[in-house]
Each structure stands twice: as structure tokens, then as C-alpha cells.
Amino acid sequence: MNRAFSPLLYSVFAAFLAVASTAHAADDKKAPVKADPAKGEALYTNGDSARNIVACVSCHGAAGNSTITQNPKLAGQHEAYIAKQLLNFRTPDRNNPVMSPMAKALSDEDIHNVAAFLAAQAPKPGAAKNKDTIDLGKHIWRAGIAAKNVPACAGCHSPNGAGIPAQYPRLAGQHQDYTVAQLTNFRGGARTNSVQMTTISERLSDKEIKAVADYIAGLK
């Protein structure tokens, strides 16, 4: 009796698995929830007093074009990169007394909405200021420092500083003070959310960090 029904039972079970597998595959192919830049703009510009979220514009400027040199310009930054950094601020890898509480107050949806808004904004250009180090900064950016095994910054961040979406951030036009602070933080271990940048920064002197940061500010 069992032998007679075994093929039938096997067929039914196999059919069930096929249907379940198809349904699971269909779920996997569902597109993720699309970010809403309009909601991101509202939160960026106005904050949310009900959740004690301060408006981002107060520190990062209108449309992400910060005029405070210690605070990064975010206009035109890659959406995936902004989202990653905000999520990292929730962790010890990028603990920051200002940004960490802010990031923890944001929902994942908020983060992606704000990131989508900023990615669509036009960045205002910066300018290199130190003519005495411009050649050193250019050399580090374009060729690296072979003697220290420092790779060319342009290899990851692109020759014009536009970066590579979802992989490496846009750096062109960024404030010198902010770039210096981040490279120094990577070097000293205060920021640990990029193994590559920690390794590279550990090989750079203060002079080299300042030179390449100044050169970056003038990229367009």
C-alpha cells in the first residue's frame, strides 16, 4: 500500500516545493521601497520637533551646500554613501556626539529619503587655497606615494573627484577642514568604518593630508 502511493506523494510534495520556491523567488524580485526625495527635503529643511530631530540645513546648509568648513558639503553626494554613513553613525564605527543621536532618531525610511534628496542637489564648487602645496596634493591625488605604498586617490574617487556611486564618495569641492579632520580620524582610529581609508591614512603625514585635502577642494 505504501509503495503504491509513494510516487503520488512524492509528486505532490515536489509540486508543493516548486510552488513555494516560485513564490519565494517572486518575493526576492520585489523592488525595494523607493525613497521619497520630497519627504527627505522636508525633513532636511524643517526637522521634526515631535521626534526631537533638528533640521539638517542648520549645519549642512541650503540644499546640502554647507558654508561651515567643519561640516561636510552633502549636495550631489551618492545616495547609497549618505545612507551608509547615517547608518554607521548608529554604531561605534563612526560614533559622533552630534550625528550619532541624530541618526538614531531617524528611521531607515527617513535616512533613505534624506539621502535621495541630497543626491539630487547641485554641489557648489570649492577652491584650493595653498599654492605652496598644490603640486604635492595633485601628485598624491593622481599618482599616490609609491615609497609609502599609498595608492592614487583618483583610482577610487575618480580623476575629477566624482567618486563611484555605491562604492566611493564624491569628494570634489569638499571643505579642506572637513577632509583633513576625516583623514586624521581614520589615521588615529576615531573613525573605523573603512578599512581601506584607515590603512591609507596611517601612511600619510600631516603635511600630505593637508596638501591632498586642499587639492580636493579645488576639484570640479
What does the pLDDT look like over 162-215, one tens digit per residue?
999 989 999 999 999 999 999 999 999 999 999 999 999 999 999 999 999 999
157 forms beta bridges with none
**Which of 147, 148, 134, 155 is CA-nearest to residue 212?**
134
pLDDT in tens, the chain (220 residues): 444 445 544 454 455 445 445 545 444 445 566 899 999 999 999 999 999 999 999 999 999 999 999 999 999 999 999 999 999 999 999 999 999 999 999 999 999 999 999 999 999 999 999 999 999 999 999 999 999 999 999 999 999 999 999 899 999 999 999 999 999 999 999 999 999 999 999 999 999 999 999 999 999 9
C-alpha span between 39 and 46 (Å, rounded): 10
C-alpha span between 110 and 37 (Å, rounded): 10
User: Does residue 161 come out as left (phi exceeding 0), alpha (psi in the -120 to 50 range) or beta?
Assistant: left
**Which of 118, 53, 117, 111 is CA-nearest to residue 87?**
111
**Structure confidence at residue 68 (pLDDT):** 98
**Structure confidence at residue 23 (pLDDT):** 47
C-alpha span between 219 and 154 (Å, rounded): 11
| 78 annotated ligand binder | no
CA end-to-end distance (rounded Å), the chain: 79
150 forms beta bridges with 145
**Which of 62, 54, 69, 64 is CA-nearest to residue 102?**
54
**Structure confidence at residue 166 (pLDDT):** 86
Report DSSP letters for 15-80, one per residue.
HHHHHHHHHHHHHHTSPPPPP-HHHHHHHHHH-BGGGTBPPTHHHH-GGG---STTS---TT--HH
Prediction pTM value: 0.84
| 59 annotated ligand binder | yes
H or E, element range at 5: helix 2-28
**Structure confidence at residue 7 (pLDDT):** 53
**Structure confidence at residue 26 (pLDDT):** 47
**Structure confidence at residue 182 (pLDDT):** 98
| 112 annotated ligand binder | no
| 102 annotated ligand binder | no
**Structure confidence at residue 197 (pLDDT):** 98
For the chain, list the domains and their CATH numbers: 37-119 (1.10.760.10), 134-217 (1.10.760.10)
